Structure 1
Amino acid sequence: MQAFRKFIRYYRPYRGLFYFDMICALAVCAIDLAFPQILNLLTKNLFLQPAETILSALWYIGAGLLAMYIVRYGCQYFITSWGHIMGARMESDMRQDLFNHYQRLSFTYYDRNNTGEMMSKLVSDLFDISELAHHGPENIVISTLKIIGAFTILMFMNVPMTLLLLAVTLIMVVFSLGKNRRMHRIFMDNRRKIAAVNARVQDSLSGIRVVKSFANEEVECEKFDDCNRSFLDSKTDSYKIMGSFHAGNSFFQGLLYTLVLVSGGYFIAVGRLEPMALAIYALYIGIFLNPIEVLINFTEQFQRGYSGFKRFMEVIQTRPEITDSPDAKPLAHVEGHIVYDHVSFRYGNEAEVLSDINIDITPGKTVALVGPSGGGKTTLCSLLPRFYDVTGGAVLIDGQDVRSVTQQSLRSAIGIVQQEVYLFSGNIRENIGYGKPGATDEEIVAAAKRANIHDFIQTLPEGYDTFTGERGVRLSGGQKQRIAIARVFLKDPKILILDEATSALDNESERFIQSSLEELARGRTTIVIAHRLSTIRNADEIIVITPDGIRERGSHAELLKRDGLYAKYYNMQFEGLN
């Protein structure tokens, strides 16, 4: 019922369309029920009159029936066109809600879930929901009224025959409900299997350069074949149950016609039914059976739509782990004073990554974090913009706990340049402009100049309108990095995080980009994660972090004099010492 209430909510913006759709459905139902009765009345009355009377009345009868079916045409057109449009709009609303919710979910959700499966929920699942949204109420209303109307008329025509009809119908309903439960399980399995196919495709195509570099195309084909065959097996099971479902119901429908013919013949023989009445009765049998068949087919559609909606609701009901507190206030007038106050952190139930970390960074200063992989350097930086929340202690900016301010204002005050640059599909102007939505061309050019990328962009045939390719594939690592730096220049944050921003570049690109980074860091509170220690010699403080916590801290010169872990790393890089 909770899922049903959630589903009904999406009809609210389209109440007018929905109500008129139901009115049209009622009109179609009434017209279909009326024709056999009109035929019955004409047969018993008008068609027994003289030829002149019949011929004079036929014009009026024909005109009336034509008008009736013109109305039916208009109603059927509205149901088929605007009813589907209503369903498509509801699908669009659900897709937008799901995408918006994806944007709100925390990093932990993306750590646990596959992008391909999320895409499946966003695209294929919602299509069947759209069909359910349109056909569900319409099929239920029309079919229910036709069944009730036809059954009532049949009872007036012949009670014993209709009771036999009811008995077979009840058996058919019990049969359908039993098959329906199995169909629900199989269709849910279909959803999971096609999501796995989508996940495999997304993973393989995203890593296509790695695949080809290792000549592992056959390996990927085998992996895809496994999940593809698993989906095929699931679909095979679903078609088998659908086959027995539809064949069984077709058998019961044939049984109904057989009973009507046999029992009707009996009642004609004993004088309790006229042959013409049996013909009219057979017409109503068709009207009675057709909505039953529609409801039976709708059962399959319902299971597909409902299983998709359940998967949709699983995501919608997932609560973001990082949320603004009810009394959160915007972070205003940022100076950039950062304090890690006895900070501890662990991922879920895993062992602690950080334990009792204390760091104080005054405004405008640069602090470098170095140490072995797995020491928690990136995690420490991720706590500042609240990509994750501390499990102990607090992270403060200008004396305010980051959990007490709005995420939007917090992250607007922080610029991040990472080792792996992500460029969106689009042109260079759009990618730089991402740092400040609505920025003017002059502002974008100014940011590009400060990042030392403007001259290169000018050499391109289309300049700032040059398409970057998916994930910036048409640009070199250094070019992508400078676009990312320009993006942060445009954002103009007071706090800067440089997460191994030059570690993947060659020496020449590193020197070129290092000057851009130094320009970017000027006047900003900066946290630098670096494996290349040459890039952090001028840092105000260098902190050596290991899995056991902070081992050393001080300036470059102080740490070399101490001849500890930092000096060991430095000597290994620059003097080849062991």
Structure 2
Amino acid sequence: MSYYSRFLPFLRPYFPRMAAAIALVGTAAALNLVLLRLAGRLWDVITIQRDVDGMTALVWIFLALMTAQGLLSMGHSYLVAWVSQHIMADFRTHLFGHLQKLSVSFFAKRRTGEILSRLMNDVGVIQTTVTETPIDSAKHLVTFVGGVGFLLVMNWQLCLLILVLLPVLVLVAKFFGRKLRALSTTIQDKTAGSTTIAEEVISGIRVVKSFVQTGREERRFAAQIQSNVQTALRRAAIMAVFVPVITLLTFASAAAVLWYGGRQVIEGSISPGDLFAFVLFAGILIGPFGSAARVFSQIKEAQGAMQRVFEILDTRSDISDRPDAVEMPPIKGQVQVAHVSFAYDPRQPVLSDLSFEVQPGEMVALVGPTGSGKTTLINLLHRFYDPLEGSITIDGHDLRAVRLDSLYRQIALVPQETILFGGTILDNIRYGRDGAPEQDVIAASKAANAHDFISAMPDGYRTVVGEKGVNLSGGQRQRLAIARAVLKNPRILILDEATSALDAESERLVQEALDRLMAGRTSFVIAHRLTTIQRANR
């Protein structure tokens, strides 16, 4: 199945409006043909018949038709824009929704900038091709068919002079099109690479500045951009040859028309007005011929973009609900890990035949050097990955047998590096329970030792946190993350000990909040400090 046929479901809801736009643009193109024929008639009325009344009537008809054509063009332009924007929004939303359903392993293997480039840049390329190109093609089709029809009626010999070059034009377009598609795909890949570098540097700008690496990052970005420039120049070189060749072949036909048609006027076979109209028709046929280069380029570029986008849409999540998955009922928090083995790379096992059991309400400290499997175990408990061998159960329910959303609703994660989203403090705390009453949010904030600093802000709970919480201190961000978990009210907590990078006062406040949060809940804590290990049950 071609990429375009796979895109049809996104176009189908807008077929009526696209059909209306095509009808409007087709009618406008037909009126343009009538205007050209009318121009030839007007030429004869002025130069041969010298009829003032006839000339005046033709001018008024000419103006009326031009007004109608203008109104039709206005209508089709708005319809095309409306359809284009809605299709882009639908498809981009669909792609974003699919991305969110993919497993954590997908994102671990790909750079953020590459994914964003496909979501934004590639979808934009597709948008132009699948909406604007068909409308433009309809316009050029009406122009070509109608123009050739007029030319055949007026003088079939002259018409053949123009049409003789058509096979050559098709072969030339096909030859260049293959090269343009390959280069367009390469350009999109390299654009994604530069986007990734920019995203990495902007996200880590503090580290870049602290280690005095701005020059290095600029050189790295410039090298990627220059690589893109070279590929773009190769593509531009092909286009620089492609378009003039198409245009030259088209104008060669027009020159032949002038030479042959001029002889027929001199011989009296046709009128000067007929030749004038014929030249005008030949001129507008240059549009469909010349646009073939642009349309071919757009189609090939869109095929490259579709290939990259559908590569994501064809990716299936490693972690998904089984057909017979059931809802996990409210749990007590008993966890059993039985003979679990796991490896990201089969050659490097991370966990091997791990077994233990945790009773409801117990706190388990996960201790060990970097690479010992602490984070891996957390990922398995959250079912971001599945064990290669063995099983993990909660209250006797195998994690692979329950619906993911019902599992996630009963687990809360408080990472060491707090993740805050754009919006207000209220929005970020409510992330734990969408639509929660504000009084519940305030209660959760008090439990997290966050209410006082929130209330001290000019806009209180409606204070905008800034991108990734840049307007807040580390301790404040951690307490918001704890408030979010309190509001969710889970039975199982997964904590990457949040106090290791805080000052003494912030650590005290965060630790108090964590103690309240963990009370009565099964907790798994990646422990970095002796005090945490001492408080743990095991």
Preserved CA contact (<8 Å) 2:392 2:399:
yes
- 1:222-256 CA distances to partner (integer Å, 9 max, x unpaired)? 11111121122122222222211112122112211
Once the two structures are overlaid, the 10-residue window that deviates more, 200-209 or 243-252, is 243-252
Once the two structures are overlaid, the 10-residue window that deviates more, 208-217 or 462-471, is 462-471
- 1:506-537 CA distances to partner (integer Å, 9 max, x unpaired)? 45543432222121111111112202122121
- 1:313-358 CA distances to partner (integer Å, 9 max, x unpaired)? 2222221221111122211121211111211111154422111111
Please state if 1:355 is matched with 2:356. Answer: no
Equivalent position of 1:375 in the other structure: 372
Whole-angstrom CA distance in 2 between matches of 1:496 and 1:277? 85
Q: CA deviation at 1:12?
A: 1.7
Aligned pair partner of 2:201 in 201, 204, 208: 204
Q: CA deviation at 1:427?
A: 2.6
Equivalent position of 2:82 in the other structure: 85
Q: CA deviation at 1:302?
A: 2.6
Q: How does 1:398-417 map to 2 (within 5 A)?
A: 398-417=395-414
Question: Residues 43 and 268 from structure 1, CA distance in 2 versus in 1: closer, same or farther, beyond 3 angstroms?
Answer: closer
Q: CA deviation at 1:273?
A: 4.9
Once the two structures are overlaid, the 10-residue window that deviates more, 402-411 or 531-540, is 531-540
Aligned pair partner of 1:521 in 515, 518, 523: 518
Whole-angstrom CA distance in 2 between matches of 1:332 and 1:506? 40
- 1:66-114 CA distances to partner (integer Å, 9 max, x unpaired)? 4433332221111212211211111111111121112111111111111
Whole-angstrom CA distance in 1 between matches of 2:487 and 2:347? 38
Q: CA deviation at 1:163?
A: 2.7
Aligned pair partner of 1:178 in 160, 164, 175: 175
Question: Residues 36 and 483 from structure 1, CA distance in 2 versus in 1: closer, same or farther, beyond 3 angstroms?
Answer: closer
Give the TM-score normalised by structure 2: 0.93
Amino acid across the alignment from 1:34: V
Give the TM-score normalised by structure 1: 0.87
Q: How does 1:413-424 map to 2 (within 5 A)?
A: 413-424=410-421
- 1:180-201 CA distances to partner (integer Å, 9 max, x unpaired)? 2111111111111111111111
Whole-angstrom CA distance in 2 between matches of 1:40 and 1:274? 9
- 1:170-222 CA distances to partner (integer Å, 9 max, x unpaired)? 21222222112111111111111111111111111111101111111111111
Equivalent position of 2:239 in the other structure: 242
Once the two structures are overlaid, the 10-residue window that deviates more, 288-297 or 325-334, is 288-297
Report sequence identity in percent. 35
Preserved CA contact (<8 Å) 1:370 1:529:
yes
Q: CA deviation at 1:459?
A: 2.9
Q: How does 1:83-482 map to 2 (within 5 A)?
A: 83-267=80-264, 273-482=270-479
Equivalent position of 2:27 in the other structure: 27
Whole-angstrom CA distance in 2 between matches of 1:50 and 1:476? 87
Whole-angstrom CA distance in 1 between matches of 2:268 and 2:462? 88
Equivalent position of 1:10 in the other structure: 10
Whole-angstrom CA distance in 1 between matches of 2:72 and 2:21? 8
Q: Match of 2:433, SS?
A: coil
Question: Residues 428 and 512 from structure 1, CA distance in 2 versus in 1: closer, same or farther, beyond 3 angstroms?
Answer: same
The structure whose Rg is larger is 1
Preserved CA contact (<8 Å) 2:243 2:290:
no
Q: Match of 1:123, SS?
A: helix
* Structure 1 vs Structure 2 CA RMSD: 2.3
Q: Match of 2:407, SS?
A: helix
Whole-angstrom CA distance in 2 between matches of 1:260 and 1:349? 72
Q: CA deviation at 1:268?
A: 5.0
Amino acid across the alignment from 1:485: I
Whole-angstrom CA distance in 2 between matches of 1:500 and 1:372? 15
- 1:134-190 CA distances to partner (integer Å, 9 max, x unpaired)? 322112222123222222332343334333322223212222221121111111111
Q: Match of 1:352, SS?
A: coil
Amino acid across the alignment from 1:395: I
Whole-angstrom CA distance in 2 between matches of 1:421 and 1:526? 18
Once the two structures are overlaid, the 10-residue window that deviates more, 156-165 or 397-406, is 156-165
Whole-angstrom CA distance in 2 between matches of 1:63 and 1:281? 22
Amino acid across the alignment from 1:188: T
